[in-house]
Amino acid sequence: MPELGWRPMGTSAYLTSSVMVMLESLPLTCDDTVCDELQPASLSCLAGVSKMMNSVVWGYQRRSFNITRTLSLFMTVEEAFCFRVLQAKTGMIIIGSVVVQFMDRAPLKDIDLDVAVGHEHSYEVGRWLCLIGYQFQSDLGPAHSFAEAHVQATLGMHRDLGAFGSPLFWSRVASVFTFRHILRSTTIHLISAEYSPLDVILASHSTCVMNFITHEQAVSLYPFEMFHSRWSLVCNTVDSMQETSRQKYVRRGWTMVKSLTYMEIINPKSEFRTRNRFVGDDNTWALSLEPAIPYPSSSLSANSWHHGYGLLRGGTLTSEQFSAPGPSNRYLLANDSEYLDFIQPMCVVGLTSGGDVIETEDIVALLNAFNSTVM
């Protein structure tokens, strides 16, 4: 197969002087025609050429990556703003096909909205969906309420594999609650994560769906192979039930990569090479969303994992669960002994040298600093 690889964002491999001259000579309304043909890395490179090009790209991204327009397919504009506020408060993220098509600038047609949140916040999110007109769809009959289903999920009493289907997926999920808006004929799947939403993403069937949207950013963990090469590394192939989900993306134009050569595994330019990764590293594409909402940044950048590869399982994304003091301070750390040995003594005890409990923002800052200097 062709060589896999990420081209450095600062190179001019994607852009020629003719592209820049063309953009500079076109009226503003024509920018989209050119930018529509550029991949994410190309847009980033173009934005760094000059202040004018940065303005062109910024304007294009505001028009093309409009999260309010996307959410308005499922709710009103006012509800979309409240939805993003709820994301900021609970750590809820959008996952699945909506994110893929949003970041790929593809039209959304006949598609459900998948959201994931920690189980401790899933009841709050489900109740909010009911308040804006969605009705809980129970697989146990209309008399079975969302409250009853949530209690059963909390107790581990009922897990319906349904369309999601993978044993690995379900080992990281408490339940999937389905809500339908009768007037809009739209469906929202609320995935309640046992540990954290990112833990669910890393259990996905392949890398093409390892993308998510927070209240402030759209993030792709494998962007070059995803949007430029249109390749998706098959992960966790022991769960053959995921093949149906993979085929959906094959029909949409992605090639499922089931095996890698030794050179592809060690290629420093490849996103599929074995290494420790973290959210926001040099392989991540993070797109800021407009309009911005006045809430603190997500703590997802503090999470890391090890990207590995095995002949039988394909891509293997592994991490250690690390819970710091506080109900929502749950992180994934690359399963590297030196990494864990450094972090755990400082956070597990939960005390600084002055005897005060370490605040969440301090934990995130510590993990971010370690990621950026050591990983």
By residue range, what is the domain housing residue 138?
A: 65-293
Same domain, 129 and 70: yes
Determine which of 228-232, 288-292, 336-340 has the lowest per-residue pLDDT on average: 336-340
Report which of residues 12 and 23 the model is more confident about. Answer: 23
148 and 44 housed in the same domain:
no
First to last CA, the chain: 29
Highest mean pLDDT: which range of 25-29, 139-143, 258-262? 258-262
Judge if 93 and 204 occupy the same domain. Answer: yes
Same domain, 139 and 75: yes
- Domain for residue 33, yes or no? yes
Number of structural domains in the chain:
2
- 325-375 residue pLDDT tens: 665 678 898 876 566 676 666 665 554 455 555 677 777 887 887 777 766
Q: Is residue 273 part of a domain?
A: yes
Q: Could you give the percent of the chain with pLDDT greater than 70?
A: 78
b/e sequence 219-246, b meaning 16+ C-beta within 10 Å: bbbbbbbbbbbebbbbbbbebeebeebb
Residue 362 belongs to some domain of the structure: no
Q: Do 69 and 57 have their domain in common?
A: no
Do 86 and 58 lie in a common domain? Answer: no
* Residue 127: inside a domain: yes
Among 211, 230, 219, 268, which Cα is nearest to 96's? Answer: 211
Q: What is the pLDDT of residues 47-98, one digit of tens each?
A: 888 888 888 888 888 888 999 999 999 999 999 999 999 999 999 999 999 9
pLDDT at position 243 over 90: no
Considering the domain architecture, whether residues 84 and 174 belong to the same structural domain is answered as yes
pLDDT of residue 180: 97
Per-residue model confidence (pLDDT) at position 18: 56
Q: Are residues 105 and 181 in the same domain?
A: yes
Q: Is residue 12 over pLDDT 70?
A: no
Average pLDDT of 182-186?
Answer: 93
Q: Tell me, what's the pLDDT at 49?
A: 85
How far, in Å, are 5, 156, 203, 219, 317 from residue 210 at the CA level? 17, 26, 9, 9, 11
Count the residues in the chain: 375
**Is residue 311 one of the residues assigned to a domain?**
no
Please tell me the predicted confidence (pLDDT) of residue 7: 37
Does one domain contain both 216 and 254?
yes
For residues 61 and 31, the answer to whether their CB atoms sit within 8 Å is no
What pLDDT was estimated at residue 347? 60
Residue 164 has pLDDT above 80, yes or no: no
